[in-house]
Structure 1
């Protein structure tokens, strides 16, 4: 019976299980990266449950002790001390809604993000269809301009946009928050990449049935582009829901037009940090809808990103 030498393998196999040092290292790096990303959210939610003293002393664990403490603002209003004793979680979240019109800010955020996304889709779909499926002179040059516009940072064009809106008298309005972002070159690029994966035979068949190009866009291409639209919706809504830079520039005098990030300014902490709890509660309320929306659309989001990169 001769001796045989087994070939070296980086993986150790067991019945039904395969261990690989390379795969283990990859997952360890991914887990470490996830923990780094999630740490600020952990602190945000934890601080929204804690009293000011627990926040300053970094005690109380994740949820805090939830022991009654004195609401100094309540005492300043001349109320009885017994009525001003409250638990941290109730204090932080009731203050978030009581100190500022948070519901109004959330409503403004919904109006702005939905308006921007709807108009972006109305513009991006025909543009992407033309760049993907129509043959015309200069098509590649136009697509090159789209790619070039992806490289332009928003901060570089903020001042010209503001001057234009100011001359038109549109500052401190919904129009100032919506109009500059109604054309999304990223949306055009993403939808064009997705439309490149749609067979030409499907479009030719629609044309043979007598459908116009616009009819093909809205009745044929739109239903097939739902995964890509869901992916684009996540990018668009998250970007404009969380945007602080642009609303801070164009909304200066009308507090009723504040978007959710601007609403956080209502809770700027004093020297003693008393507003940190309500501020973190407000941030939690603002972030929660985005997390819920992403979890609901997660599968479609992954499909849209994957399919958009096939060509």
Structure 2
């Protein structure tokens, strides 16, 4: 009876997880299906995931020829890479100071970080736009990167991770004569790669998929990020050619999927370790 109960519970759990996974994968499955369909197959009354006519080559050829896909991907890599590098460079020392150094105002800074998590980019979009306009910095990588150079979420994530690190490790480094900067570079960072990987996934996915801010500060297609490029593709070039549009979307989302699969183990490890100690 006990084994039967365990088996039944496992079946129920797997069933619920399978339904949840299918719900999350359904848009991606539909996108893959639509990318291989002709225009006549997409708007038929009967819904079929398997294309009646295989138009993958034609749709991908349209996606690559109608929009500078290489430029969009390059812009996305540059913007996400710069944002991530600056965020990590700023967030790690800040989180280390709040987690391991004792100074007046540490608790107040932690409270400010928590409050900063509540402020969305939409609340600061107008003054930031006015500032960049007066600096003549619109349509530039600077305008795309600068507002996100400080990540309060990154500081909070690293703060939780550093709190779980043993103080003895840092005390030993100080006894060896290391400065605080040396401790960060030679002790903290090498042990923080799981947290860095987890944060990198969050940061890259968020800014790779961001349409709101690029839509505000970019009007020159030479600086368009992947989501903004899809908007240009749909409105200016593709018309109602949804097969080619879905093919372009697949090309743009593929790097994110591959990056997550490559870093999945580190990502799970980082999320787990940041929750060990509150």
The answer to whether the 8 A contact 1:12-1:20 is kept is: no
Aligned to 1:153: 120
The answer to whether the 8 A contact 1:269-1:276 is kept is: no
The answer to whether the 8 A contact 1:243-1:261 is kept is: yes
The answer to whether the 8 A contact 1:66-1:89 is kept is: no
Aligned to 1:231: 198
Q: How does 1:203-242 map to 2 (within 5 A)?
A: 203-242=170-209
Which runs of 5 or more residues in structure 1 are unaligned? Answer: 1-10, 68-87
Q: Are 2:266 and 1:297 aligned?
A: no
Quote the Cα distance in structure 2 between the aligned partners of 1:269 and 1:161: 27
Q: 253, 270, 275: which is aligned to 2:241?
A: 275
Aligned to 1:110: 77
The answer to whether the 8 A contact 2:234-2:240 is kept is: no
Q: Structure 1 length normalisation: TM-score?
A: 0.85
- The worse-fitting range, judged by mean Cα deviation, of 216-225 and 53-62 is 53-62
Aligned to 1:13: 3
Q: 226, 230, 245: which is aligned to 1:260?
A: 226
Quote the Cα distance in structure 1 between the aligned partners of 2:47 and 2:37: 8
1:231-260 Cα offsets, whole Å, 9 max, x none, are 0000000000000110000002x1111111
The answer to whether the 8 A contact 1:267-1:275 is kept is: no
Aligned to 1:126: 93
Quote the Cα distance in structure 1 between the aligned partners of 2:73 and 2:107: 41
| Cα-Cα RMSD | 1.9
Quote the Cα distance in structure 2 between the aligned partners of 1:58 and 1:204: 70
Aligned to 1:5: none
Aligned to 1:7: none
Quote the Cα distance in structure 2 between the aligned partners of 1:278 and 1:31: 30
Aligned to 1:176: 143
**CA-CA distance at 1:103 after TM superposition:** 0.6
Change in Cα spacing, 1:262 to 1:32, as seen in structure 2 (3 Å) is: same
Q: Are 2:110 and 1:143 aligned?
A: yes
Which runs of 5 or more residues in structure 2 are unaligned? Answer: none
Quote the Cα distance in structure 1 between the aligned partners of 2:126 and 2:45: 41
Q: Structure 2 length normalisation: TM-score?
A: 0.94
Aligned to 2:252: 286
Aligned to 1:39: 26
Structure of higher CA gyration radius: 1
The answer to whether the 8 A contact 1:241-1:260 is kept is: yes
Quote the Cα distance in structure 1 between the aligned partners of 2:34 and 2:43: 10
Quote the Cα distance in structure 2 between the aligned partners of 1:64 and 1:33: 25
**CA-CA distance at 1:65 after TM superposition:** 2.8
Q: Are 2:51 and 1:64 aligned?
A: yes
Quote the Cα distance in structure 2 between the aligned partners of 1:31 and 1:269: 37
Quote the Cα distance in structure 2 between the aligned partners of 1:119 and 1:188: 12
1:113-162 Cα offsets, whole Å, 9 max, x none, are 00000000100010010010000001001000000000112211111211
**CA-CA distance at 1:63 after TM superposition:** 4.2
The answer to whether the 8 A contact 2:75-2:223 is kept is: yes
The answer to whether the 8 A contact 2:218-2:224 is kept is: yes
* Aligned length in residues: 276
